[in-house]
Structure 1
Amino acid sequence: MSVYLDHNASAPILPRVRAAMLAALEMVGNPSSVHGPGRALRALVDDARDKVAKAAGAEAKQVVFTGSATEALTQAIVGGVKAFGIDRVIVCATDHAAALKAAEASGVSVRVVGVDDNGIVDLGALGRHVETASAAGEKLLVAVSWVNNETGVIQPRGKLEALIGPTPHVLVIDAVQAFGKRDLDFAACATDMMAISAHKIGGPAGIGALLVKGHADTVRLIPGGGQEQGRRGGTESAALIAGFGAACEEFGEVFEADRAEALVTAFEDRLIALAPDAVIFSRGAERIGTTSNFAVPGVKNTVAMMSLDLAGIAVSSGSACSSGKVGRSHVLSAMGVAPDLSECGLRVSFGWSSTAEDIDAFFSAFETVLSRHRRNGAAA
């Protein structure tokens, strides 16, 4: 038996996605070629672009396909610094490593804005950065993850847009965990650029997109032969793009937000009943209804994950983009969680294929983990 509770890392591929990709792989040519096979592939890419745009509330011309959301964020931040003449990049302490590393590589100074103990960005501190920069005639690029991939915390995007949108500063939103689960409404919003990914919604890995407003069309990262209207060089992967488009359609049909939220609620209720000393992180904040990040004091995540994995249960300790490391989370550290507790942090994340039986299987295995921990504690 195998139970997958790590949808935030990557969701299982959807059936129509696989079919769309296989069909595209049967086609020959290059989407930039002017002959018949090339035009057929271009039509496939354009159709997928329309589907992605519809799912994001964007215009098709605002969708730039990239090799991943990490690339999209790097293009937005590194490319945005150059295109807009940015003086300073502001990031949130709990942002994904993709944004934090891109900021470091931007070539300008970086300031990190902290969060409260629930992981909500300090809007007061951010506002002071904006005021100081505006008074000095400097331009900022502010990057924030809308939905945190580890805790599921939802940042106040509306307040961020109200703070940054009316100014000359640039706002970049990492919408990877929000895409497909929240209304992005990109075309009408005050965000300048937004990153999304296919494999979080049952599409293939290796394909993402940067949503860009018209005034950000000059943002570049990879020069090349003029693909993506000159905004991202390199031959488009028609198969991956077709899979992305298919995922945008099918995920909307099979993912039920209310059902996922009910699973998280049932999971957390059962966790507290089993382990009353368990700590559920960010429980006091608005969270996406797919994610629970928790710790049972004294139960190290390295030990718990090994035991769960042997029982066929896939969970994580946080981001999967940390070179396979298990241990202390930078997100929990930023929230002020004590080191010994953060080293016990585990994340379960539900998605389109999750069921109540998955929860049963998890607790069947986790009870064994806790029993062993309690026996060892009593023996000591």
Structure 2
Amino acid sequence: MEDPDPGAPAALQTHCLVRARIAIVTTKQPGTNPRMRKNADALAAAGHDVHVLYAYNTAWADETDAALFQRAPWNHTRIGGHPQHDKLRHFKSRAVRKCAGWLGWTDLEFCPSLTSYLRKLREWNPQLVIGHNPGTLPILTQWATITGIPVLFDAEDHHSGEYPDGSAEQHKVKAFEGRHLPLLRSITAASPLIGEAYQDRFPHLQVTTINNAFDAALQPDFQPLNTGPLKLVWFSQVIGLDRGIQDVLSHLRHIPELPLEITLIGTCDEPTRRTLEQCLTSEKHCLHWHAPCSEPDLMDLVAQHHVGLAIEAKPNANRAICRTNKLYTYPLCGCWTLASRTPAQVQFYQEHPELGETLELNDGVTWTKRLTDLASSLETLPDHRKTAWSLATERLNWETESQKLLTLVDEMLAS
């Protein structure tokens, strides 16, 4: 093993005690998984040799992946084929998944290319394997059993809580987690409440909370925006009708004379777009659409708005306890945040009242009053937004959060 680069920044040198080969496995594409990419970037910056094994999921992420790979400080290998570039393996992967679902073989249903992942790990022989997404659990448990090498699972979500209580899907994921997580020793969680949920169910686990922040290096210049109209923004990979957007848009009918611009960023099908556009009844309320974009472009776009929306409609158990990256993106871009009241978001804004406030999603009176108040205080709102922007610069960023990951990895490699 090599010594750390003497020219590296001191903050990184402290985490380069052991330069190791680290494999990150995911059943998603890097372009759809910012958290996985941030982990890979942080570990590579700390001097580790990082190799990402990923699988194809969606066509729109191909272009994003290509741009990422040009600048990524880590290596990558696609597993399980591609519908255009590796059709045979892709067909085989889809067939295995479907057959496994029929036969109740959940390991292969969740990870149809399980043997290919394990084969690649054997070729590369990493000293630590980190898994993202539930489909990587059988990779981690089999690899740990075969080799005794340490493994780590990242719980970005409370995965069994992503489905309705009592549903077949929830039962399947609970049983899947119940078979694999007892075989692990350590996980990371993307919010304190997700960590508590897994700790309650699996008390033996060492759980480290690593919040879903973004790089301070991506922070755009602060935009004062002290003239109207009031501009709101919301983003996700996919714009759907189960996220509370139409609730907020419908509240706007009570303030038809208030000029507003609302930007929605993400992939959206035509029926969803028509439904959301029909929620608006005033010509003074303008809805703008923007396709998914790279993280630097996303930050620049979000920074052009006064208010970021962090909303959840009828949140499932997972949505109730997760801290989405919106909570960190909006202050990084200098936005004041209006968030719906979920346990995780109430907890977050109790900890950080300088960043925004929580409202009951179905309370149209309160929403319209707050939007009216914000629109009438555009000259003073920049002060609050600048406070949020500064706090993100100082503490609420990935550079701060990633130190927990680097410390944990050092401990696991040394054990």
TM-score between the two structures when normalised by the length of structure 1: 0.29
Higher relative contact order (CA 8 A, sep 6+): 1
TM-score between the two structures when normalised by the length of structure 2: 0.27
